[in-house]
Amino acid sequence: MSKPYRPKDHFFQKAKTEGYRARSAFKMEELANRFHVLRKGARVLDLGAAPGGFLQVISDAVGPTGMAVGVDIVPIRPFAAPHVKTAVLDVLADDFHAKLDALEPGPFDAVISDMAPKTSGIRTTDEARSLRLAGRALETALRSGKPGSTFIAKLFMGGGFEEFRDELRAHYQDVKVVRPEATRGASMEVYLVALKLKGPRP
């Protein structure tokens, strides 16, 4: 039986104490530590970045010699660090990639998506919307990621999940399915961590 959602749980309080904008920062922290996906000097794209919890962890990890780019359909409170760029962009828009290139062209060492749809309460609808966002994130990763780069995407478990994982396996050397400790008990979400984007065929 899943745990009830408690908005002011341990991770909520910990985020406030440690100065993170959202409890989701601990998900990024766990993924980064487990899979070594962030390093000094790296260039990282964060999709669905508001309010900025993931971006705080990414910014600290890549440091001033790196670049952290965060986009969302809602504004992200600005960061003081010059190596962090944010913008209001819609990943589903036809001109998204052109606007992303204008903001900060690739290639990136990691493309990370914490995007999730507004839930309708209809499970099949929510799963389909989640899959669409994850697919768009993958399209961006394949377009803007370096060979050897990492892709991480949040996805609701359900219809189309296995097919999406198989697609990742076709493009990346290793794919893991992870449910970070900071995930809310009742949530359907998991993260797919795809390591080492395969380079173009010779």
User: Region 34-40: what's the mean pLDDT?
Assistant: 94
Q: How far apart are CA 85 and CA 66, in angstroms?
A: 11
Amino acid, res. 83: H
Is the CATH number of domain 10-197 1.10.3720.10?
no
Predicted pLDDT of residue 9: 61
- Asked whether the predicted pLDDT for residue 25 surpasses 80, the reply is yes
Task: Give the strand order in the sheet containing 108-113.
Answer: 84-88, 67-72, 43-47, 108-113, 145-156, 189-197, 172-178
- Asked whether 50 and 74 are in contact (CB, 8 A), the reply is yes
Radius of gyration for the chain, computed over Cα atoms and rounded to the nearest angstrom: 16
Question: 154 an active-site residue?
Answer: yes
Choose between 136 and 18: higher pLDDT.
136
Q: Is the pTM of this model over 0.75?
A: yes
pLDDT bucket at 155, cuts 50 / 70 / 90: very high
For 6, 116, 124, 151, the CA distances from 190, given in Å and listed in that order, are 19, 11, 16, 14
For the stretch 87-115, pLDDT in tens is 999 999 999 999 999 999 989 999 999 99
- Of 154, 176, 196, 198, the active-site residue reads 154
For the stretch 42-87, pLDDT in tens is 999 999 999 999 999 999 999 999 999 999 999 999 999 999 999 9
